[in-house]
Structure 1
Amino acid sequence: MAIFHLQVNTVSRSAGRSATAAAAYRAGEKIVDERTGEIHDYTRKGGVEASALFAPAGSPEWAADRPRLWNAAEDAEKRKNSTVAREFVIALPAELSADERQGLAFEFGRALVERHGVAVDVCIHAPGKDGDERNHHAHILMTTRRMTPEGLTEKTRELDNQRSGEVDHWRQEWSSMANRALERAGRSERIDHRTLAEQGIERTPTVHNGPAITEMVRDGRPSRVIEDREAAASAFVAQVKAEAQALADDLAKAQAAFDQAQQEMDQLKAEQQREQMRRERAEYEKREAEDKRLKALSAEQLAREVNRMRNALTSPDAAAQRDPAYIEARQRAEDLAQQKRQADQEQAAMERQAVQLREKHGIRTWLHDSGLMRFDKLVVAEAMGREAGMLSLQLAPKAMQAEAEAKARYHEAESRQWLENAPQNDRIERYAKLAQEKAKQERDERQRMGQQQRDERQAEIKREMLARDFKALAVRRELRMAGSRDDSEDWAKNTPEALRKVVEQYNRTPKERREEVLRATLDDPKRRGALQSMMDAREQAIDQSRSYDYGG
């Protein structure tokens, strides 16, 4: 089963240790200590499964080089009893795969960097050949000074003070990280950083036998101490059995209650699924009805509806601006930027004050710089300037990271709104296209109707002209006017015989019925066409006859 183990050690010169030797051993590498000239070569050491260096953003390039990093850590300390490094030793769950253990150890290393601003060296060791094969563990070596773009700076004192609660924090944090990793891996095992008492576990701790009792047991001699322990153990076993039976009974009841709850949950889920199907059906029918309504609209009405739907959509930018995660990230970025500006202003003000003090108090400044006296105002101004400058350097990467985080939250919210709008945008574009098609169809229909009306009007005019011309011919024939008598060339020769018969028949019709007879002829397309052809033939014959006369 997974076990909890987290131990915090220090690497101190007072114990004859060095950061370079510790780093070389844990990484299985060769490192030359530039301060002492010692060569620490552990390249033949086996069992190092993985190693990696982590440092805050903006750290110097050499922070990614193990020999240079730990030589820098040694060089930063001047006292012979200095603590040059600090180490976390953690037990990695054997239930995880090698990649999962590596990811977990590296995650813990990055968390140390984030909280303390130090450089961290993570080395994962395999179990020893003769030891417990489940003993996967990691050595996490960290600098005792914070790492900035300028290199190693101030000491991290929070881990030196046992009352600070930092070690308890990291015990709890490691427990949470390991349990999350086990959960992701689908494992049921968990670890707990608390003591048995804090966990509420009633268990008799094991008692260490001294050498005297151990020898008596080995020789088979009776021991009252052993007998008392065996009696206590028997009583404890009986108590455990009784408690186990009670627990089994409780578990049976709990199982029955669970089964009942599960059945009710299944019924509730089924009802929820039916309700969901009803809602989806209603939504589908609503969309179908809306689609039917929209398709029945005219092009102009549909275009107005499309504009209304577009205006009703939430724009991705507006959604992003209202997103709580973006608002929070934006506020954090602005706060950090403001803090950095204030630090920059404070640094500039203190530097100006220091320059003014030096210009105004030249002698005191010279005595101060010579070490003959202390110029307190100058010391304070320069110290505050350096402090403000250091704070500005620390805030710079955090402000940049916060700004990048705000942009990322904005783009995430914007993308979500784009995806949310996508179905409605597709629907809008579909109806916009339909509106264009309808507009074209309506234009074509108007053009067709206009042409049809023009054709009908033209046909009506021709009909009226045919009726007028025919009635004029019939009247001239009835009155035997010039050109319509029997001996007239226009009548006897140029007028087709069939037309003459129609005219004669028309004139024999009573006058009160003539209009009705003519209308019946004109209403019949076939008879109207025949009459029009005969009238046209007469006109052509007359025109041709007259052209001969003019020519003669």
Structure 2
Amino acid sequence: MASFHHRIKSGKKGSATDHGAYIARQGKHRKKEEDLVATDYGNMPGWAQGDATLFWKASDKHERANGAAYREHEIALPEELTLEQQKELVRQLVPALIGNKPFQFAIHAPDAALGSGTNSHVHLMYSDREDDGIERSPEQTFRRYNAQHPERGGRRKDSGGKNSMELRDQMIATRKKCADIQNAALEKYGHAARVDHRTLKAQGIDRAPEHHLGQARIRGMSKEEREKYDARRQQLVGS
């Protein structure tokens, strides 16, 4: 039962290193590593090629106080696909959504708290700082961009200089791109199911949206509450 869940969020300065460890199930988060399917990183500057943690530590230390130390796409992966097919899908999503920006991703596949199967999803964590081919120190990487003399400033931020409407349009386009790539994978592997990035209203569906419940909240439900919620969820998605 394919359904579209794509949450775009950001983390404040000081939170990137721990979040990178969380999605990669490292350090104090290792106790959750049984649900880790795959993790990788890329597009890192020379000083962080061998360890993504170095990049997130530098972002936490040098990014502007009011800037985002990282941004993230949290995307549900179609459960119709096998884990290997989901990993292939993620490899397609990364360049399409991130471009040349530094990133780290992790695919988690915990047992579904409701129903059967797994609740496979990807955390795609990235920096707004675009690569322009100029080598910079960790500190300089996060300085303000200098348009006239790029070598003197930091990397340009992808979100810099855009108004709220431009950012909104960019978010909608990104969500559509994400849905299109998922649908291409579903078609490739012979599944009729499709996902839709649009709101239910835009799709002409007259019902309340399905709320995404976290694993902790679901675990706190009684067996009867889980069964009732799952039955309602199946009814809504199938309607």
- Out of 125, 129, 139, the position equivalent to 2:108 is 125
* One-letter amino acid of the counterpart of residue 8, structure 2: V
Residues 23-50 of structure 1: CA distance to partner in whole angstroms, max 9, x if unpaired?
A: 00001123xxxxxxxxxx3222221110
Aligned residue number for residue 215 of structure 2: none
Aligned residue number for residue 120 of structure 2: 136
The alpha carbon displacement at 1:163 in A equals 1.3
**Cα distance in structure 1, aligned partners of 2:96 and 2:187:** 19
* One-letter amino acid of the counterpart of residue 66, structure 1: A
Q: Scaled by the length of structure 2, what TM-score is found?
A: 0.70
* Residue pair 1:112, 1:118 contacting (<8 A) in 2 also: no
Residues 66-86 of structure 1: CA distance to partner in whole angstroms, max 9, x if unpaired?
A: 21121222233142x432011
Taking the TM superposition and a 5 Å limit, the aligned residue runs for 1:156-171 are 156-157=158-159, 161-164=163-166, 165-171=169-175
* One-letter amino acid of the counterpart of residue 126, structure 2: M
Where 1:22 maps in the other structure, the secondary structure is helix
Residues 492-536 of structure 1: CA distance to partner in whole angstroms, max 9, x if unpaired?
A: xxxxxxxxxxxxxxxxxxxxxxxxxxxxxxxxxxxxxxxxxxxxx
Taking the TM superposition and a 5 Å limit, the aligned residue runs for 1:407-446 are none
The alpha carbon displacement at 1:146 in A equals 1.8
Where 2:56 maps in the other structure, the secondary structure is helix
Query: Are 1:10 and 2:10 matched, yes or no?
Result: yes
* Residue pair 1:54, 1:109 contacting (<8 A) in 2 also: no
- Out of 65, 76, 80, the position equivalent to 2:51 is 65
Taking the TM superposition and a 5 Å limit, the aligned residue runs for 1:157-306 are 157=159, 161-164=163-166, 165-201=169-205, 203-205=206-208
Where 2:131 maps in the other structure, the secondary structure is strand
Query: Are 1:52 and 2:40 matched, yes or no?
Result: yes
The alpha carbon displacement at 1:199 in A equals 2.1
Between structures 1 and 2, the one with greater helix share: 1
Aligned residue number for residue 154 of structure 1: 156
RMSD (Å), alpha carbons:
2.6
Taking the TM superposition and a 5 Å limit, the aligned residue runs for 1:236-385 are none
* One-letter amino acid of the counterpart of residue 6, structure 1: H
Residues 189-240 of structure 1: CA distance to partner in whole angstroms, max 9, x if unpaired?
A: 1001112232233x344899xxxxxxxxxxxxxxxxxxxxxxxxxxxxxxxx
Aligned residue number for residue 83 of structure 2: 98
The alpha carbon displacement at 1:92 in A equals 0.3
CA pair 139-161 structure 1, distance change in 2 beyond 3 A: farther
* Residue pair 1:18, 1:74 contacting (<8 A) in 2 also: yes
Aligned residue number for residue 227 of structure 2: none
* Residue pair 1:88, 1:139 contacting (<8 A) in 2 also: yes
Runs of 4 or more above 6 Å deviation: none
* Residue pair 1:159, 1:167 contacting (<8 A) in 2 also: no
Number of equivalences: 189
Aligned identity (percent) is 29
Where 1:90 maps in the other structure, the secondary structure is strand
* Residue pair 2:15, 2:60 contacting (<8 A) in 1 also: yes
CA pair 146-76 structure 1, distance change in 2 beyond 3 A: farther
Residues 282-319 of structure 1: CA distance to partner in whole angstroms, max 9, x if unpaired?
A: xxxxxxxxxxxxxxxxxxxxxxxxxxxxxxxxxxxxxx
The structure whose RCO (Cα within 8 Å, separation 6+) is larger is: 2
The alpha carbon displacement at 1:158 in A equals 5.5
The alpha carbon displacement at 1:129 in A equals 6.0
Q: Scaled by the length of structure 1, what TM-score is found?
A: 0.32
Aligned residue number for residue 71 of structure 2: 86
The alpha carbon displacement at 1:131 in A equals 4.5
* Residue pair 1:109, 1:121 contacting (<8 A) in 2 also: no
* One-letter amino acid of the counterpart of residue 185, structure 2: A
Where 2:30 maps in the other structure, the secondary structure is coil
**Cα distance in structure 1, aligned partners of 2:50 and 2:185:** 27
Between structures 1 and 2, the one with greater strand share: 2
* One-letter amino acid of the counterpart of residue 25, structure 1: Y
**Cα distance in structure 1, aligned partners of 2:23 and 2:49:** 17
Aligned residue number for residue 108 of structure 1: 93
Residues 216-275 of structure 1: CA distance to partner in whole angstroms, max 9, x if unpaired?
A: xxxxxxxxxxxxxxxxxxxxxxxxxxxxxxxxxxxxxxxxxxxxxxxxxxxxxxxxxxxx
* Residue pair 1:112, 1:120 contacting (<8 A) in 2 also: no
Where 1:86 maps in the other structure, the secondary structure is strand
CA pair 2-158 structure 1, distance change in 2 beyond 3 A: farther
Taking the TM superposition and a 5 Å limit, the aligned residue runs for 1:401-412 are none
Where 1:170 maps in the other structure, the secondary structure is helix
Residues 124-156 of structure 1: CA distance to partner in whole angstroms, max 9, x if unpaired?
A: 011346445442111111013223442431222
Aligned residue number for residue 26 of structure 1: 23
* One-letter amino acid of the counterpart of residue 119, structure 2: N
CA pair 99-2 structure 1, distance change in 2 beyond 3 A: same
* Residue pair 1:158, 1:166 contacting (<8 A) in 2 also: no
* Residue pair 2:200, 2:207 contacting (<8 A) in 1 also: no
**Cα distance in structure 1, aligned partners of 2:58 and 2:207:** 49
The alpha carbon displacement at 1:102 in A equals 0.9
**Cα distance in structure 1, aligned partners of 2:174 and 2:58:** 26
* One-letter amino acid of the counterpart of residue 87, structure 2: Q
* Residue pair 1:3, 1:191 contacting (<8 A) in 2 also: yes
Residues 473-503 of structure 1: CA distance to partner in whole angstroms, max 9, x if unpaired?
A: xxxxxxxxxxxxxxxxxxxxxxxxxxxxxxx
Structure 2: gaps of 5 or more residues: 142-154, 212-239
**Cα distance in structure 1, aligned partners of 2:186 and 2:108:** 19
* One-letter amino acid of the counterpart of residue 36, structure 2: V
